[in-house]
Amino acid sequence: MAAAAGLFTYFILTTRRMERLRKPFFVGLFVFVAVTLVENIMFLGYNSFLFWVNGWSAGYYSASPSRIGVTPFPLPIVIPAMLLGKADFLASQSLWQTQIPTSIALFLLFMIPYILTFVIFDRAFCGWLCPFGGLPELMLTGRKPKWHLSFLQKKASERGGFSLTGYTGLKWWVEWIRYGLLLLLIVLSFAVPFAIINVISPALWAKSGPVFIIGSILVVAFAIVLPFMTNRRWWCYLICPVGATLSLWHKFSLFRIKIDKRKCNECMDCVQECRYFAMTPQGVADGGPHSGNCIRCGRCIEACPEEAIDISWRGKNKNVRAQFITMIIITALAWYLWFVVLLVSYSGRFDQFQLFK
């Protein structure tokens, strides 16, 4: 893993093709997690997997002390325990034994690695680290969208509009849909027997039949069909509660996309190439995207013919693309090491896979 990460970091730092190297890396994380989940189900057996899912209760927080439990899959809620050294891997059973954060205090402790990741990288998490974001990213094929969805975009005469061909900024009410959905999700988490923490772990959707059906429909529509037809990541923009939450504190992000106005000729190539509605004509005029939509994917950096765009510290003009890429790859290794552990454990026991037993 160290050799692979080192080589990848070297190649991505010695070329301007940051986005073309980031995309296979990001999609690879999704495939990696998906393969781990499939092997986990095959090892446990489908019925045993559902039994485990139905018995999972983490996320219903109270003042009672937390308890020790086991999990066969590195769920988002217990990965921080692994990072903090609070989990033991039982190699003979391919299980992690850890405290399950059912108390509010322990939940806040377990959130520390997440908070550090989000504070440092902000929405770059959505472009580099999210285990589910690779699916809509995989669906982005070709340069020309098949559907333009013009009714969602600003007109050329509006602020942030763009008169040439390509996407413009979205209308204000589209921007607010994600916050409405986030609020609705929080309210529903108190009204239905499904803890909100389970939403960020699709492996637990099977805990509730209606949630599984609704979630599957949304995935097909917003993570597969719409990205394929429009070349835009609609799931991450509109549906994902993590993305909506992160977009609220973009002003505190350490890393920013910065446009050197001395080099920029306002060709708007970056606007047309942005897959996330982050770069707009107004953003070009202001020296960089100033909304909570930028995921630091580097597509605008690669598209700029004048090499006027790069990553900088917040409030500074110094380019820090090398530091950003190195830090985020190290973070990815830390978050996904546990899936490697599980896959290695499974590799020598294919004869024990039960699937439908």
How far is 124 from 20, CA to CA, in rounded Å? 16
Q: What is the pLDDT of residue 60?
A: 47
Q: Which residues of 296-333 are buried (b: 16+ CB within 10 A; e: fewer)?
A: bbbbbbbbbeeebbbbbbeeeeeebbeebbebbbebbe
- 299: which 2 tokens? 């597509």
Counting as low any pLDDT under 50, the low residues of the chain are: 59-63, 160-166
Alpha helices of the chain — where are they, by DSSP H? 2-13, 18-44, 46-55, 79-83, 104-110, 112-121, 124-128, 134-138, 172-191, 209-218, 226-230, 234, 241-246, 269-273, 281-286, 299-303, 321-347
pTM across the whole model: 0.84
Q: Of 236, 211, 203, which Cα lies nearest the Cα of 222?
A: 236
**C-alpha distances in Å from residue 10, one per residue of 1, 15, 21, 25, 124:** 14, 9, 11, 14, 20
Q: What is the pLDDT of residue 197?
A: 60
- 245: which 2 tokens? 């939450």
How far is 274 from 297, CA to CA, in rounded Å? 9
Q: Of 180, 161, 163, which Cα lies nearest the Cα of 171?
A: 161
Q: What is the pLDDT of residue 217?
A: 92
CA of residue 223 relative to chain centroid, distance:
12
How far is 171 from 154, CA to CA, in rounded Å? 5
Residue carrying structure tokens 């970056």: 270
CA angle 134, 301, 299 (to 5 degrees): 25
- 19: which 2 tokens? 């986005």
Q: What is the pLDDT of residue 64?
A: 52
**C-alpha distances in Å from residue 77, one per residue of 13, 34, 51, 88, 110:** 33, 17, 19, 15, 8
Q: Which residues pair with 95 in a beta bridge?
A: 90
How far is 277 from 167, CA to CA, in rounded Å? 8
Taking residue 281's Cβ as centre, other Cβ atoms within 10 Å add up to: 21
Q: Of 283, 284, 316, 319, which Cα lies nearest the Cα of 16?
A: 319
Q: What is the pLDDT of residue 166?
A: 47
Q: What is the pLDDT of residue 226?
A: 92
- Give me the chain's average pLDDT, please: 81
How far is 85 from 256, CA to CA, in rounded Å? 32
Determine what percent of the chain falls in helix, strand and coil, rounding each to the nearest 5: 55, 10, 35
What does the domain layout of the chain look like in residue ranges? 2-114+323-352
Tens of pLDDT, residue by residue over 122-171, are 889 999 999 888 999 999 886 677 887 777 777 655 554 444 444 566 77
Which strand (E) or helix (H) includes residue 88?
Answer: strand 87-90
Q: Of 223, 227, 208, which Cα lies nearest the Cα of 145?
A: 227
